[in-house]
Chain A
Amino acid sequence: MSTVKMTVNGKAVAVDVEDRTLLVHVLREHLNLTGTHVGCDTSQCGACVVHVDGRAVKSCTMLAGQADGASVTTIEGIAKGDELHPMQAAFRDNHGLQCGYCTPGMIMSAIDIVHRHGGQLDEATVRTELEGNICRCTGYHNIVKAVLDAAGRMKVSQAAE
């Protein structure tokens, strides 16, 4: 057992876990942040993507101990109160989901994509960059539309700040 200390969605947390515990299980089972999903268990589907120190990573492929001292942001941490993050709003407006299982990971990856590419995003880039996130319902079309829509909104909201 080890104590893992992290900042999760802006709050300091300390959890006692077995060393074999994955970050995703700390989030879901110890912190009750069940928005982050486990999809494949083989590190391929991206349903578990969260931001660790600002980088979108698969929380099922990281031991909790590796995240000790890190700042973690999950899907629960991106809205401002009742106001959805622009990426969440764009997914809703563009019907970028059907069953919703992959959506938290899609949104966390998509925010990272927009941060990395800024205004340089086009459809082909979004499709390539989303290859670590698997959706079995939508055919991706509306997800790509949502990410492009959100990229514009995020630029506007950044400019306003």
Chain B
Amino acid sequence: MYQTTYHRASSVDEAASLFAKSSEAKFLAGGQTLLPVMKQRLASPSDVIDLGKIKELQGVELSGDVLTIKAATTYYDIMTNADVKKAIPAIAHLTSVLGDPAVRYRGTIGGSIANNDPAADFPAALLALGATVKTNKRSITADDFFKGLFTTALEDGEIITAVSFPVPAKAGYEKMRHPASRFALTGVFVAQTKSGEVRVAATGASQSGVMRVPAIEAALKANWSPSAIDSVSISASNLLADIHGTAEYRANLVKVMAQRAVTAAG
């Protein structure tokens, strides 16, 4: 790892002002991606600003039909939170198949979506549930937040403070896990809002990162059942292809994972 200067911020405002004073700073939440990347010398921030101990970034709130998860809440704390399990159990399930137990103790929802890895799990949940990303400057809908591989709408120095999820009528998430990395070879999050809208998002599939799947949304809107997806055709063009699976294989996985997610959602 290259030399860097570590700062522990005690508030979001302090973190923002530390960032403004640094030349090439990076925010650190759980560090389960940033630190491995720094160890490989693929990133060399002049300053690392730790958000992990900021109290206002910790915790979960359920208020009416909105579940709010603060940005530095760890996967483990999300997975075991009673409000999450009650309001959106699909999110608790998603965190239980994310990484491994040691990673889940450190990694955070804010870190995951700020990084926007094309095979990360949380971007699919935000997109399918129509979540809103809260930052220290504004609110951004999930539709506007994810901008392609490792790219988001966040401006330089902007800090995610929380994610608000409307509580859905039904939701499910299933993924084909890569056995070594535990990332999604393809994962699909399905959701039916309380007003009857259907939203489906796939991760690990597209070359442009997390994506909606309109064909499956239309099929499920007409008939919320796994069999409704049988006749849907998913194009392999613009899907990821690597040693783990071809684009055609991933296109099929989008369907199969969506069907399993609908079964899980009930």
Interface residue ranges, A against B (CB under 8 Å): 2, 18-20, 22, 41-44, 46, 49, 55-58, 60-63, 65-66, 68, 109, 112-113, 129, 131-132
Contacts and interface: CB of A to CB of B under 8 A. Distances in A.
B7 to A, nearest CB: 8
A68 B1 CA distance: 19
6 contacts: A42-B39, A56-B102, A61-B106, A63-B48, A65-B8, A66-B31
A43 B36 contact: yes
Contact of B101 (A43, A56, A63): A56
Contacts of B8: 65-66, 68
Nearest to A18: B3
Given A63-B50, A66-B52, A132-B103, 12 more contacts: A18-B3, A19-B4, A19-B48, A20-B38, A42-B36, A44-B180, A55-B105, A58-B102, A61-B32, A63-B31, A66-B6, A112-B101
A10 to B, nearest CB: 21
A131 B182 contact: yes
Contacts of A46: 100, 102
A56 B38 CA distance: 22
Nearest to A21: B1
Contacts, number: 80
The B contact surface, by secondary structure, is mixed
Nearest to B181: A44
Contacts of A62: 31, 35, 106
Contacts of A56: 101-102, 105
The A contact surface, by secondary structure, is mixed
Contacts of A43: 32, 35-36, 39, 103
Q: Which 9 A-B pairs have the closest CB atoms?
A: A132-B100, A19-B6, A65-B6, A55-B105, A20-B1, A43-B36, A132-B102, A58-B102, A131-B100
A63 B6 contact: yes
B179 to A, nearest CB: 9
Given A61-B106, A65-B8, A66-B52, A129 B35 contact: no
A57 B3 CA distance: 23
Contacts of A44: 180-181
Contacts of B182: 131
A2 B31 CA distance: 19
Contacts of A65: 6, 8, 50
Nearest to A105: B102
B150 interface: no
Give the residue among B6, B76, B182 with the most A Cβ atoms within 10 A. Answer: B6
Given A55-B105, A57-B105, A20 B4 contact: yes
A96 B36 CA distance: 29
Contacts of A129: 101
A19 to B, nearest CB: 4
Nearest to B44: A20
Interface string B38-63: 11100000001010100000000000
Contact of A132 (B5, B36, B50, B101): B101
B2 A20 contact: yes
A113 B6 contact: no
A60 B39 CA distance: 9
A13 B28 CA distance: 25
B74 to A, nearest CB: 9
